[in-house]
Amino acid sequence: MTIQSRTAVLLLGLQLAGLLAMAFLAARWEAIGEASRRQQRIEAQLAAQAQRIDHEGELLARAAVDLAIQGALLHQQRGNPPGPAWHARVQAQLGDRLERLPEAIGGGWWFEPGAVEPGRRHYGPFVYRDGSGVVFTWALSTPEYDYHSRGWYLAALPRDWERDRRRPRNVYWSAPYYDEASGSSALMLTLGAPMHDAEGRVIGIATVDWSLDALRELIRALAEPGGQQAFLVDRRSGSLLAFSADPGLAMTPVALQPWAAGLNSSLAAGSTRRLADVELAGVPHAVHVRATRAGLLLGTLTPIRPGWEGLFDTLPRWLWWALVIGMPIALLVLLVLSQQRRPLDKVLAALRQSLVREPGSDRLLLRPMELSGRNEFTPLIERLNALYAEINADTERTARLNETLQARQAEIAALNASLEQRINERTFELEANNAELQRTVSALSRLQGQLVEVEKHGSMSRLVAGIAHDINTPLGVAVTAASHLQDLLRERREVLARAARAEPLLRQLVEDGEEGLGMLLSNLQRAAALVRSVKQISVDQSGEGRRRFDFAAYLEDVLLSLRPQHKRLPHRVQLDCPRGIELDSFPGAWAQVVTNLVMNALNHAFAPGSAGLIEVSGRIEGGAIELRVRDNGLGIPADRQSRIFEAFFTTGAQHGGTGLGLAVVRDLVEQRLGGRIDVISAPGQGSEFLIRAPLSSPGNGHPG
């Protein structure tokens, strides 16, 4: 067979196959179109009903927000305490709101404990619809109903929400529920809108109840007898609210249904999706679902008609039309084909002559084509000749670019060598800078250690200054008493020299002398005890020696030495430690720790003008000594507790604070006493420092 014969047979075969394919596709398209129209109808139904649900939900949401605004205004206008007139306004305005909102079956204002009247926990006026109209009631403002613990209340206002913060959203939806106590046994959703006072604190919620009975009627309207079924699902709780095939499944988990796979997948509100097909009673069903902005899923289960049924109904008709139209076209194609081949043969010959290889190389030469006469192929030949010229020019440019590229590669190699040298120089500079930085860090560390030691010994200087002032008081009293006793004896001696009867004067002299000597002895003993306490503590802190000592007696001496620091303050320092606890440790370290903790509490724990209590207690727990220093002051904010033991961290820099006191305490406890220190505090609830250390300190007590 010639090329023309093969071409003709091929074209006729292709035409016949095309006609048959067109007939099949047309029949299939018609069947698909019917299925598509049915799906569009379902999606349109779902969209229309979903818009109806969303419209009603948005209407109720706006009503809940308006009700919350009105409730907040009424709260601001109440008296203290609110009078009967205000309570009557609450009842009247709440009833009027529900009268103008036929979509709702109930609503109310539910206030936080004490928000309306001090000491009143439940204040929840409520209105609902019954057969006679709108009914107002206080029946739900009782401890038995306790609306604060109801799911619809907690959905809008959780227990753990701080009441001095504004809620982030205007409306919160509850899960579906039956609430016969509210005056209706219908299945409902509650829309809760938080109420805030003028300072932004939460004072309660306003609610609007939405009955789902109307939505069930909507589901029944979507269902078709013997065919399409409809369902409604609450997205928040996963509960099946309505199912036309079995109404008894209401309020059961939708996940138990065989057709529910994929319902929990992410689906944007206002969009419709066809899920995976399922089989119900042996019949395949298409599952369509629409997500509403109200948090509900509206869907249908539609029986799927097999595709071949609609196809075989229309295919014979389209085949007949294909044959009727295709035969005349085939004959016409053969006739035209024989006439159109001649110019094409000339073009093919010219094209073969234009492509030759250069003698002695593999380079392809593109020569311009020459064709006598003009026909429909002439523009193509002209375009090919122009393309040949561009290709030849591009080949020349490519050769020149290759030469330029080789030169640039040589330049890049030279630049790389220079760059490597500069990198080596910069690396040497960085190493020198790092060494200098290490020396600077070491110097700063030594300086920090010196500052810590200065803080340790500085507290002793402040203590001695206070003790010196306090010793002056008993010594001054002792001097005054001695001087008074001397004057009294001299006066009595002169009187006795002139008196005839000396016995009463001698008796009075003895009594006054005993009283003066008692005062003299008491104040001298007080000064001696104070000096002895300071001397022992000073020796312990300066010598840093280790010895055995009674812990309770030593704590008494330390607190006695601190008395001048707080005797003019309204605060009390109280010791609770049993005698007999003997430590083999470093008393100077313990004195430094107790002194810094007590002074830290005196300086920072209490508000100006308040009278605080600082408790120092010691116990043996689990074979170790536990020392607690507790105050009932302001407490430490949580964001500062993790930093109070850092060196130089202070909140009292404006009052001369260095930020080293607690850093020294932690260093002494962990390094010298072999223990650990923890802090327990909350704002407004005081602070407690707990130290736990062994009864016998490890090693020699020096860090490192």
Round to whole Å and give the CA distance between 161 and 676: 36
Residue 377 DSSP SS3 = coil
Whole-number pLDDT of residue 681:
93
Whole-number pLDDT of residue 539:
52
Please, which pLDDT band fits residue 525 given cuts at 50, 70 and 90?
low
What confidence tens digit (pLDDT) does each residue in 41-97 have? 888 888 888 898 889 999 999 999 999 999 999 999 998 889 999 999 999 999 999
Please tell me the least confidently modeled range out of 157-171, 192-206, 279-293, 487-501. 487-501
Round to whole Å and give the CA distance between 106 and 122: 18
- Residue 123 pLDDT > 70: yes
Per domain, the residue ranges of the chain are: 1-211+306-364, 215-305, 412-542, 544-694
Whole-number pLDDT of residue 160:
94
Whole-number pLDDT of residue 108:
95
* Highest mean pLDDT of the ranges 37-51, 268-282, 422-436, 668-682: 668-682
Whole-number pLDDT of residue 701:
46
Angle of the 587-604 helix axis to the 378-498 helix axis, nearest 10: 100
Average pLDDT value for residue range 107-119: 94
Average pLDDT value for residue range 226-247: 85
- Residue 183 pLDDT > 60: no
Please tell me the least confidently modeled range out of 19-23, 32-36, 345-349. 32-36
Contacts of 76 (CB under 8 A, 6+ apart): 197, 198
- Residue 345 pLDDT > 90: no
∠ at Cα 403 (402, 404), nearest 5°? 90
Round to whole Å and give the CA distance between 19 and 319: 8
Q: Does residue 365 contact residue 358 with C-beta atoms inside 8 Å?
A: yes
Average pLDDT value for residue range 191-199: 95
Average pLDDT value for residue range 610-631: 95
Round to whole Å and give the CA distance between 328 and 406: 66
Please tell me the least confidently modeled range out of 37-41, 251-255, 516-520. 516-520
Please tell me the least confidently modeled range out of 288-302, 387-401, 534-548. 534-548
- Residue 184 pLDDT > 70: no
Contacts of 692 (CB under 8 A, 6+ apart): 621, 624, 625, 626, 675, 676
Whole-number pLDDT of residue 486:
75
Amino acid at 485: L
- Residue 456 pLDDT > 80: no
Round to whole Å and give the CA distance between 599 and 616: 12
Integer-rounded Cα Rg, in Å, for the chain is 50
Average pLDDT value for residue range 515-528: 66
Whole-number pLDDT of residue 371:
66
Can you read off the two tokens belonging to residue 133? 């109209």
Q: What is the DSSP letter of 123?
A: B
Whole-number pLDDT of residue 704:
36
Q: Does residue 524 contact residue 474 with C-beta atoms inside 8 Å?
A: yes
Q: Which helix (H) or strand (E) holds 698?
A: none
- Residue 638 pLDDT > 80: yes
Q: Look at residues 237, 210, 230 and name the one whose alpha carbon lies nearest to residue 58.
A: 210
Q: What does each C-alpha distance from 672 to 479, 624, 666, 701, 703 come to in angstroms?
A: 44, 15, 10, 4, 6
Whole-number pLDDT of residue 340:
66
- Residue 431 pLDDT > 90: no
Instruction: Judge whether 1-211+306-364 and 544-694 match in fold.
Output: no
pTM: 0.43
Contacts of 362 (CB under 8 A, 6+ apart): none
Residue showing tokens 């007696």: 553
- Residue 618 pLDDT > 70: yes
229-234 and 202-211 beta bridge pairing: unpaired
Whole-number pLDDT of residue 270:
85
Comparison of pLDDT for 197 and 650, the residue scoring more:
197
Can you read off the two tokens belonging to residue 140? 């739900």
Q: Which CATH architecture has domain 1-211+306-364?
A: 2-Layer Sandwich (3.30)
Please, which pLDDT band fits residue 703 given cuts at 50, 70 and 90?
very low
* Highest mean pLDDT of the ranges 215-229, 242-256, 324-338, 459-473: 242-256
Whole-number pLDDT of residue 88:
93
Round to whole Å and give the CA distance between 481 and 493: 18
Pick the CATH number of 215-305 from 3.30.450.20, 3.90.1150.10, 2.40.30.170, 3.30.360.10: 3.30.450.20
Comparison of pLDDT for 355 and 553, the residue scoring more:
553
Q: Does residue 645 contact residue 600 with C-beta atoms inside 8 Å?
A: no
Whole-number pLDDT of residue 669:
94
Q: Which CATH architecture has domain 544-694?
A: 2-Layer Sandwich (3.30)
Q: What is the DSSP letter of 256?
A: G
Average pLDDT value for residue range 663-687: 92
Please, which pLDDT band fits residue 112 given cuts at 50, 70 and 90?
very high
Residue showing tokens 């006679």: 132
Whole-number pLDDT of residue 702:
46
Q: Does residue 126 contact residue 106 with C-beta atoms inside 8 Å?
A: yes
Transcribe 281-329 into DSSP letters: TTEEEEEEEEE-TTSEEEEEEEEPPPHHHHHHHHHHHHHHHHHHHHHHH
Helix count (H) and strand count (E) of the chain? 11, 22
Q: 548 pairs with which residues across the strands? A: 584
pLDDT over 70 percentage in the chain: 77
Q: Does residue 89 contact residue 96 with C-beta atoms inside 8 Å?
A: no
Round to whole Å and give the CA distance between 343 and 364: 26
Comparison of pLDDT for 192 and 276, the residue scoring more:
192
Contacts of 642 (CB under 8 A, 6+ apart): none
Please, which pLDDT band fits residue 432 given cuts at 50, 70 and 90?
confident
Can you read off the two tokens belonging to residue 179? 């609430």
Average model confidence (pLDDT) across the chain: 81
Average pLDDT value for residue range 239-262: 85
Whole-number pLDDT of residue 133:
85
Q: What does each C-alpha distance from 373 to 130, 255, 338, 612 come to in angstroms?
A: 98, 79, 20, 117
∠ at Cα 530 (528, 531), nearest 5°? 65
Comparison of pLDDT for 445 and 669, the residue scoring more:
669
* Highest mean pLDDT of the ranges 324-328, 536-540, 625-629: 625-629
* Highest mean pLDDT of the ranges 69-83, 396-410, 441-455, 524-538: 69-83
- Residue 538 pLDDT > 60: no
Whole-number pLDDT of residue 541:
54
- Residue 318 pLDDT > 70: no
Round to whole Å and give the CA distance between 304 and 101: 42
Whole-number pLDDT of residue 406:
86
* Highest mean pLDDT of the ranges 67-71, 399-403, 560-564: 67-71
Torsion of Cα atoms, 534 then 540 then 542 then 545, to 10°: 170
Whole-number pLDDT of residue 654:
52
Can you read off the two tokens belonging to residue 242? 């309505």
Round to whole Å and give the CA distance between 356 and 367: 8
Whole-number pLDDT of residue 342:
66
Q: Does residue 583 contact residue 548 with C-beta atoms inside 8 Å?
A: yes
- Residue 513 pLDDT > 80: no
Amino acid at 580: G
Around Cβ 548, how many Cβ atoms within 10 Å? 10
Amino acid at 188: M
Average pLDDT value for residue range 474-480: 69
